[in-house]
Amino acid sequence: MTLPVRAAVDGTAAGDLAPHEVPASVRSLNVASAVGPVLMRELEVKGLSLGSPVFMRAFKEERELEVWVEREGGFQLFRTYPIAAVSGWLGPKRWEGDLQAPEGFYRVMPSQMNPNSRFHLSFDIGYPNDFDRMKYCTGSALMVHGKKTSRGCFAMTDEKIEEIYVLADAALRNGQPFFQFHSFPFRMTDQNMERNRDSKWFDFWKNLKTGYDLFEAYQRPPKVFVESGRYGFDCHGS
């Protein structure tokens, strides 16, 4: 199991670290020691390794968060976790304090990991991204975290966030520069899209579906950029 080369057990805040440094705490180290060996065995059964690059997708309506792990040829689904709580309704986050969970394509850098979270462990998904800022959306500190309540975040319970956090932490420490976190209103199947055709967000969701479909086709998260007021995608990867 990959262990941190420097543990920020002195209270160093994530914001004080260089972007490539992964913060740690006594809590996160203890969790890694307890959860890591179990995860290693469970990953090995599926031909996967702790420390391999990860990719995550969240589905608000289904209240599910997927963790995918890279193996030769693409990413493989490791586990689907139930989301304990996600506030708001279907549709993107627009402004600070609307209690809405974001929808879109986000990057989690090492410095966004929070081993000292008051919600046990957490990471900032990176909202607002370039697309959100272009739309003048506001908000901050949108997290995937422990506990069972949410105010615009994704609450996973302490037990589930420990696994998710260790998987992400190990990947970042092993050299993954960031991982993608895609947040969708629902699974973007043709049937679900048709069911929501009358929503005011339908055009936005069609744009999200393009990125969703590329991952479904290639099992590798596409490179995401913003072009002409919409998300653009390169299927050759992130």
Determine whether 145 is an active site residue: yes
Q: Is the torsion defined by CA of 207, 53, 57, 98 positive or negative?
A: negative
- Label the pairing between strands 64-71 and 104-108: unpaired
Q: How far is CA 112 from the centre of its chain?
A: 11
Determine whether 182 is an active site residue: no
First to last CA, the chain: 25
Q: Which of 20, 120, 137, 145 is catalytic?
A: 145
Q: Which of 153, 182, 235, 236 is catalytic?
A: 153
Interatomic CA distance for residues 26 and 115, integer angstroms: 8
Q: At CA 26, angle to CA 20 and CA 32, rounded to 5?
A: 75
Interatomic CA distance for residues 110 and 220, integer angstroms: 20
Name the residues annotated as catalytic: 145, 153
